[in-house]
Amino acid sequence: MNWTLGNNWYLFLLLLLPLLGIIMVYYLKWKNGRKRIFAEVRFQEELFEKKSKFSKILPLLYLLGTLFLILSIVDVLSGSEEIKTKQKMNNVIFLLDVSNSMNAQDIAPNRLDEAKNIIINTMGKMKNDKVGIVVFAGEASSIMPLTTDFTAAETYLGGVETNIVKTQGTDFLKALQTVTEKFKNIPKGARTVIMLSDGEDNEGNEKAAIKLASKEGISIITVGIGSEEGAPIPEYVFGQLMGYKTDLAGETVISKRQDLALKNIASQTDGTYVDGNNLDNATTQIIDGLRKSTSSSESSVQSNNAIHYYQYFLALSILFFMIIFLFNPKKDFNL
C-alpha cells in the first residue's frame, strides 16, 4: 500500500479505535453500575450468568476486527500511486528571425518560409520533446509556450509574417532574454534553442547574447538561411508588393546571409551551425544536434495501477468478527 501524504488523510479513520475503546470502557462501567443498583455484589453470582473466559478477550477481538476493516477501507480509497520515471527528452525553443530581410527570395519561396518549413520538418522527427516558439527582429515575442502539441505549433507558424514584430532590426540579445524567461522553470543544461536567421546582426550585441546563453545553460543550434550572393528585400503593403528596400542614396539594398555571428553563437554555446539552404540536410543536422544535447528528465505521474492489499486486511477483519459471532455464546456484545 502506498502511504503518501494524500492517503494519510484517510488514516484519521484510525481515531475510531480509541473512540471505540472509550465506548467499551464506559459501557462496562455502566453495566457494572446497573448490576450494583439491582443487587449487592454478594448476590450477583447467583443472579447473573457467570462470564466465560472468551468474553474477556471480546474487546480485543472487536478492536482488531475494526482495525483491519479501517486498513482495508484506507487501501481501497488510496486508488493511485506516484511513479517517478526518467525519460530522454529535449526542451526546445525555436527562435525565428522575422526581420524584413527574411522576405528575400534568394531561397525559394523566401527565407522566412524556408525557416518555417525547417521547423515543421524538424518537429516531425522529434519524439517526447517539448517545443516553444519565439519570434524576433528589433524586439522579441513568445507566440507559443513549451508544449508537446506539435499540431498547435504548426498552426502558430502558419500565421507568422515579418510584420508580426513592429520594431525591425535583428537583436540577438533581446531574443535570448525572451527565451531565458520562457526557460525559467527548466533546469540549466536542459535548455536548447534552434535559432533560424539570415544572420544580419543590426545591433552588434552578439557577444552579449552569447554571454547570457552561457550563463543560463542554453545550448544554441544556429541555422543560417540565405545565399552569399543575396537578394533584394521586398516591401509589402497589405500583402501587395510595393517595391524593394533602398538605401539613403536610392540604391536597392541587397541582403546577404551573414553566417559569422551565427557560427560564433553556436560554437560558444556548445551548439552546432547548420546550413539551412537545403531543407532535408538542415533537418537531419538539427536532429543530430538535438540528440547530442538530449538530457534525462525525471517526471512523476499518478498511476491508477497501485498495488492493493485491502483484500488481506478485509479477510482478517472478517475472521475476527466470525470468531466473535461463532464463539460468543449469546451472539451479542457480551462483555
What would the mean pLDDT of 66-84 be, rounded to a whole number?
Answer: 70
Q: Is residue 213 one of the residues assigned to a domain?
A: yes
Closest of 134, 106, 243, 148 to residue 195, by C-alpha: 134
Cα 261 from Cα 194, distance rounded (Å): 14
Distances (CA, A) of 162 to 105, 165, 193: 14, 7, 20
First to last CA, the chain: 34
Residue 303 falls inside a structural domain = no
What pLDDT, on a 0 to 100 scale, did the predictor assign at position 264? 95
What is 95-108 written as a DSSP string? EEE-SGGGG--SSS
Please check whether residues 58 and 136 belong to one and the same domain: no
What confidence category does residue 329 fall into, taking pLDDT thresholds of 50, 70 and 90? low
Calpha distance 97→153 (Å, rounded): 16
pLDDT digits (tens, 9 = 90+) for 119-159: 999 999 998 789 999 999 999 999 999 998 888 888 889 88
> Which pLDDT score, from 0 to 100, does residue 6 have?
44
Helices (H) and strands (E) in the chain, counts: 11, 12
Q: Are 97 and 67 in a shared domain?
A: no
> Taking 50 as the threshold, does the pLDDT of residue 332 lie above it?
no
Q: In this structure, which amino acid lies at residue 304?
A: N
Q: Which helix (H) or strand (E) covers residue 193, if one does?
A: strand 191-197
Q: Please tell me the predicted confidence (pLDDT) of residue 295.
A: 57
Tell me the DSSP string of 261-315. Answer: HHHHHHHTTT--EEETTSHHHHHHHHHHHHHHH-EEEEEEEEES-----HHHHHH
Is the whole model's pTM more than 0.85, yes or no? no
pLDDT band per the 50, 70, 90 thresholds, residue 325: confident
Q: Residue 18 — pLDDT band, cuts 50, 70, 90?
A: confident
Q: Is the pLDDT of residue 5 over 50?
A: no
Range of the domain at 54: 5-83+309-327
Q: Which helix (H) or strand (E) holds 191?
A: strand 191-197
The verdict on 69 and 94 lying in the same domain is no
pLDDT at 85: 56
Query: Are residue 26 and residue 91 in the same domain, yes or no?
Result: no
User: What's phi and psi for 275, nearest 5 deg?
Assistant: -80, 115
Q: What is the pLDDT of residue 122?
A: 95
Q: Is the model more confident about 172 or about 71?
A: 172
What is the model's pLDDT at position 10? 59
Do 98 and 162 share a domain, yes or no? yes
Backbone angles phi, psi at 21, to 5 degrees: -60, -45
Residue 220's pLDDT band (boundaries 50, 70, 90)? very high
Distance between CA atoms of residues 107 and 221, nearest Å = 20
Does the pLDDT value for residue 58 go beyond 90? Answer: no
Give, for 223, the enclosing helix (H) or strand (E): strand 218-224
Q: Before 329, cis peptide (omega within 30)? A: no
* Predicted pLDDT of residue 9: 56
User: What does each C-alpha distance from 161 to 111, 127, 255 come to in angstroms?
Assistant: 11, 27, 18
Three-state DSSP state, 332: coil
Would the pLDDT of 217 be above 50? yes
Any residues with CB less than 8 A from the CB of 193 and at least 6 apart, and which? 92, 93, 94, 95, 176, 179, 213, 218, 219, 220, 221, 271
Asked if 316 and 219 sit in the same domain, the reply is no
Q: Are residues 59 and 135 located together in one domain of the fold? A: no
Residue 143: its pLDDT value, please?
93
Residue 33 sits in the same domain as residue 101: no
DSSP string over 73-133 = HHHHH---EEEEEEEEE-EEEEEEE-SGGGG--SSSS-HHHHHHHHHHHHHHT--S-EEEE
Based on the fold, state whether residues 183 and 224 are members of the same structural domain.
yes
What is the structure's pLDDT at 135?
A: 96
pLDDT for 235-286, tens place per residue?
A: 988 778 889 999 889 899 999 999 999 999 999 999 999 999 999 999 999 9
Residue at 205 is within a domain: yes
CATH code of 278's domain: 3.40.50.410
Q: 259 and 290, same structural domain?
A: yes
How many domains, in total, are found in the chain? 2
For residues 117 and 60, state if they share a domain: no
Which cell is 85 given? Answer: 520515471
| Rg of the chain on CA atoms, in Å | 37
What integer best gives the mean pLDDT of the chain?
Answer: 82
Q: Is residue 333 part of a domain?
A: no
How would residue 1 be classed by pLDDT, with cut points 50, 70 and 90? very low
Listed residue (160, 168, 159, 181) closest to 139, CA to CA: 168
Do 151 and 256 fall into the same domain? yes
The answer as to whether 332 is a domain residue is no
